Structure 1
C-alpha cells in the first residue's frame, strides 16, 4: 500500500464524477481547464503535481458525430493525450487504467466481441479511440485498457437523461430498435475500475493485468429496449410515460454510422479480476431513481 494518490482524469465527466464519488483510496481528480489534452503541458504538470501511484484516464473526446468535423482535435484527445499520459506512467513505473469504447468495432460480428477480435471503427471517433488503445498499449507502460459501452448516469449528458427530458415534452417518441448493445452505468464501471486499482495496490502488478478487457453491465438490449425500460421505471415513480415506436437506423440517419451489434464479452474481466458488473436493467433502475429524486429535490 502507498500513500501516494490515484490520479483520476476527466473529473467533470460522467465516469470521472462516479470515480471521485466512490474512491476510498487517496485520489486527486483533475479536469479541464487544469488538465486538458489540448494543452499537453497540463498533462505533465498535473502528473508531476499529483505524484500518483496509479492513473485512471477517464478523459476523452466523446462527441461521436462532431468528431467527423474535428478529426485532429479528436485524435489529440483520444490518441495523443493518452499516449503522453502512458509515457509518464511508464517513466514513473506506475500502472495506467485507460477507458476505451465498443465503437472500435463495426458491429458486424453477430455475437459479443472478445478482446482479440479485429477492430474496424466506422468513424473518426472510433478510429481515434482505437489509436489511443494502441498508443497506450505500445508505450511500454503497465497498462489496462477497458472497453465499455453506452455509458449513462444520473448526472451529465447521456441517453437516459435525454429520454427523461424528451418524455416531459412529448407524448410520442421514435427510438432506434436495430442497434444492439449493453447500457453501462457509470457508477458500476467506476466500481469495477476502483476494484482493479485496489487489487493492484494491495497485491501488486501482475503480468496477466496487461492489455485489453471488456467491461460493461451484463445482458443486452437495443436503444428502443433501453428507452422502454427507462420509461417503465420512470412511470412507476410518477412520470408520464410516452408511446415509444421502434424505428430502424435508416429512419434516423446520423453523420456517423453506429455499430449494429456492439455487445462486448466480459469473460476475461471475470477470469482475471473476478469482476462481473450488475445487470443493465438493475443498473437502469438505480440510475433513473437517483435522477428523478435529484430532479424533485428543492
Structure 2
C-alpha cells in the first residue's frame, strides 16, 4: 500500500494502536490519545491536522477517527459527554478536514440500528438506535457526511483486540479463571470483529481514498464474517482457552438487564464492502482462533 500521512484520534485505544502498527511502510503516523488530542476542542483539532500536514511531505494525508465514548451503559446517564465525543468531535474533525482538503474516515457502530430486522443490515437500511450511545454515534455520522469533507463512514461491530484495558474477550478470559459457570445473553446477534482485521480493512480503504479511488458509497459496513450471540462468542472463547464451553450458560436479555437497551440483531452485511472492491473480513470464528494463537488477546 501507498505510504500515507495518517492521523488517528483515539490512538491509544484498541483500534487506534492497531492502525498505527499496521500503517504502510514509510508512513507518517500521529496517533494521539484523548489526553493529547481532545477532539471536542476546535483549537486542538486544528493543531493536530496542521501538524500532520507539516510532516507529511509527499505522503497523502488522511484522518481515521477512532476516538469515541464507548461506555454504552454509562452513556445513558452521561449524555453530554457521550454527545460531545461522539457527535461534536467528528463534526469538528470533519470541518477542519474539509478546510484543509484532507480526507476522513469516521468509524461508527452497529448500534445505530434498532435490531428489529432479522436479516443482516445493509448500509441503506433504516436506522433507529435504542441507546444514547447509538444516538450519539448516528449524530456523528450525520455531521461528518454533511460537512463537505471528502469523508466515509465505516460501521463495525463487537470489536475486540490486543490493546486497551478491556473488551468482551478479555473479560471472558478473566471470568473463566474466576467462576465455575457464566450466564451470558443468547438472544442478541452480532458480528464479532478482531481489531487487527478491522485496521487492515480501514487501511485498505484509506489507500483507495488517497489514490483517488475511493468508493462512491459513503457509508460502508466492515465487520467479521458470519454471526453469533454473546453466549456463542463466550463459548468460542472458552474453546480457545481449552475450557469446557458448557460452563457458559445461555440467558435472555430480560434475565440480564442493562441500563442501555441493545439491538436483538445487529449483524452487518459485508455487501457494501465487497461492492466497493474491498477485501471482506474473514469469519469471526477464524479470526478469534488466530487472535489466541498469536497471543495478542492476552496482552
Hey, what does 1:195 align to over in structure 2?
204
Alignment of 1:209-224 (within 5 A): 209-224=216-231
CA distance in 2, matches of 1:272, 1:90: 23
Q: Is the 8 A contact 1:113 1:262 kept in 2?
A: yes
Q: Secondary structure at the match of 2:72?
A: coil
Deviation for aligned residue 1:283: 0.8
Number of residue pairs the alignment of both structures matches: 290
Hey, what does 2:235 align to over in structure 1?
228
Distance 1:65 1:118, change over 3 A: same
TM-score (norm 2): 0.92
CA distance in 1, matches of 2:208, 2:168: 32
Q: 1:20-69, CA deviations, whole angstroms, 9 ceiling, x for partnerless residues?
A: 11111332111121111343322221112111611110111100011111
Q: Secondary structure at the match of 2:122?
A: coil
Q: Is the 8 A contact 1:167 1:240 kept in 2?
A: no
Alignment of 1:40-189 (within 5 A): 40-51=42-53, 53-156=61-164, 157-189=166-198
Deviation for aligned residue 1:273: 2.8
CA distance in 1, matches of 2:227, 2:69: 25
CA distance in 1, matches of 2:2, 2:21: 20
Q: Secondary structure at the match of 1:250?
A: coil
CA distance in 2, matches of 1:244, 1:210: 40
Deviation for aligned residue 1:209: 3.7
Q: Is the 8 A contact 2:170 2:297 kept in 1?
A: no
RMSD of aligned residue pairs (Cα, Å)? 1.9
Stretches of structure 1 that go unaligned for 5 or more consecutive residues are none
Distance 1:249 1:92, change over 3 A: same
Deviation for aligned residue 1:292: 7.0
Deviation for aligned residue 1:278: 0.9
Moved runs in structure 1, 4+ residues, more than 6 A?
Answer: 1-4
Distance 1:290 1:154, change over 3 A: farther
TM-score (norm 1): 0.92
